[in-house]
Structure 1
Amino acid sequence: MNKSPIEIAYDDREHAELLIQRLSKQTNLRLVRKRLKLGDYQINEWLIERKTLPDLVTSLCDGRLFSQVSRLSKSPNNTALLIEGASRDIAAYDITREAIIGALCSISITFNVPILRSLSQAESAKIIYFCATQLNRRKTGVISHGRKPKRYKNQQLFILQSLPKVGPKLAKRLLMHFDSIEAVFTASEAQLSGVEGIGREKARQIRQILA
């Protein structure tokens, strides 16, 4: 049986010819060029913003970085930041290593945006490919049998993420809104659609699989 290719949408303003060329050679992917409001690449419910290391430093110095990251973190989608380049790429920039480390810590901890690192467009292509295949396995129900979360709340979130189109952020919203997994599972479509990020169709799909 032939499997449908995994769709990756990329922003039509993205300038990464080698990266896109490498991805286009993967026979199990389908690339779609479109205008994205946020991020440079979209895979299922995930948005990936790609920044070269010089771009990161420039936006940090002129004050744009944290407003950009804030917009990403407020998206209903799950988001990640892919930083591309090596330290030699910013050797001529007047910025300390400590300032960059501090910014990365803030992005990860304060804004809860995961950071991915690569050295080149070729390596970025590999990272995006790995993300796509892993997200596709989760979407199609092929879940890794690795170590499950041990903490009670993480176990609850892990269970909620098994629901249709429910990622980490939406799982947190559901648990915060209903206080328990049992309340989520017994909620009506109308009650589910009252949670930010869940429309009528998603609420219907959740009720359908729970029933």
Structure 2
Amino acid sequence: MNKMLIEIAYDDREHAEILLEQLTLHTDVHLIRKRLMLGDYQINNWLIERKTLPDLALSLCNGRLFSQIYRLSESSCNTALLIEGTTRDIASYDITRESLIGAICSISLSFNMPILRSLSQTESAKILYFCATQLYSREAGLKLDGRKPKRKKNRQLFILQSLPQIGPKLAKRLLSHFNNIEAVFTATEEELINVEGIGRDKARKIREILTQ
């Protein structure tokens, strides 16, 4: 049985010779050097931004970090942040541990972006390879059983959960009942009440937040 060939694209401005050399050791990996407008690596529909700890600290101090993360999060692709290095790398930097932890929490929670952690370029190569093999295996499984990725549905549920007193379960019920979020937003109080778990009070609060 032929081994599945895994394609990993990397930005032509990326300086990570050890990482790239480690990836070439995998006979099932095909590296593609190209100009990426966002991120440093692309695997299928995933963009991965690689930042060393010094780069993360500098971009946090000069205000560039969150504008970069915002642009990355606006991509139509799935996105992740790979942070590489140890605290020794930033021992001389004028930045607190609390500041870094706060930034990482904000990226993970506010931008809904997975964060991968690595100690070195060699370990980063392993992480990228593991990510690639899992993504390719998952894609093969989706093609076999006909399922489609749920990224769009997850976005719809995320938007619905921003409504008053709407958690994950009620968001799923609303989407199932109305089929799309536009129908939810234009529904009357009486129509909203028809959904299990949406009482008069919740329906009124939803209409208030959508119309005020």
Which string of whole-angstrom CA distances, capped at 9 and with x for unpartnered residues, describes residues 98-135 of structure 1? 01110000000011111101000000000000000010
Distance across 1 between alignment mates of 2:48 and 2:38: 9
Out of 175, 179, 185, the position equivalent to 2:175 is 179
Q: Aligned in 2, Cα 1:108/1:57: closer, same or farther, shift over 3 Å?
A: same
Normalised by the size of structure 1, how large is the TM-score? Answer: 0.72
Q: Distance in 1 between matches of 2:110 and 2:67?
A: 13
Q: CA RMSD in A?
A: 2.6
SS at match of 2:141: coil
What pairs up with 1:8-157 in 2 under 5 angstroms? 8-141=8-141
Q: Distance in 2 between matches of 1:181 and 1:67?
A: 37
**Structure 1 residues 69 and 18, CA gap change in structure 2 (3 angstroms):** same
Choose which of 142, 147, 163 in structure 2 pairs with 1:162: 147
Cα distance in 1 for partners of 2:155, 2:142 equals 24
- Over the matched positions of the two proteins, sequence identity in percent amounts to 65
> Is the Cα–Cα contact under 8 Å of residues 20 and 125 in structure 1 kept in the other structure?
yes
CA separation of 1:171 and 1:31: change in aligned 2, threshold 3 A: farther
Change beyond 3 A, Cα 1:110–1:136:
same
Aligned residues: 165
> Counterparts of 2:41 and 2:176 in 1: how far apart (Å)?
34
Unaligned stretches of 5+ residues in structure 2:
161-173, 181-212
Deviations 1:117-167 (A, max 9, x none): 100000000000000001011000079xxxxxxxxxxxxxxxxx931xx35
Between the aligned partners of 1:119 and 1:4, the Cα distance in structure 2 is 28
- CA deviation vs aligned residue, 1:57-95 (integer Å, no higher than 9, x gap): 000000000000011111111000000000000000001
The C-alpha deviation readout for 1:29-74, integer Å capped at 9, x for no partner, is 1110001110000001111000000000000000000000011111
- Pick the structure with greater CA Rg: 2
1:173/1:108 Cα in 2 relative to 1: closer, same or farther (>3 Å)?
closer
Partner of 1:195: none
- Report SS of the residue matched to 2:47: strand
Question: Post-superposition, which runs of at least 4 consecutive aligned residues in structure 1 deviate over 3 A?
Answer: 173-178, 181-184
TM-score by length of 2: 0.72
Query: How far apart are the structure 2 equivalents of 1:181 and 1:75?
Result: 29
C-alpha distance in structure 2 between counterparts of 1:103 and 1:92, whole Å: 19
SS of 1:48 mapped into structure 2 = strand
Letter of the aligned partner of 1:20 in structure 2? L
Contact 1:84 1:119 in 2 (8 A): yes
- Measure how far apart 1:3 and its partner are: 3.2
How far has the Cα of 1:183 moved from its partner?
A: 4.6
Which protein is richer in helix relative to its size?
A: 2
1:159-209 CA-to-partner distances (Å, cap 9, x unmatched) read xx931xx353x332466699239958xxxxxxxxxxxxxxxxxxxxxxxxx
Which residue identity does 1:179 align to in structure 2? L
Q: Which runs of 5+ in 1 are unaligned?
A: 144-160, 185-211
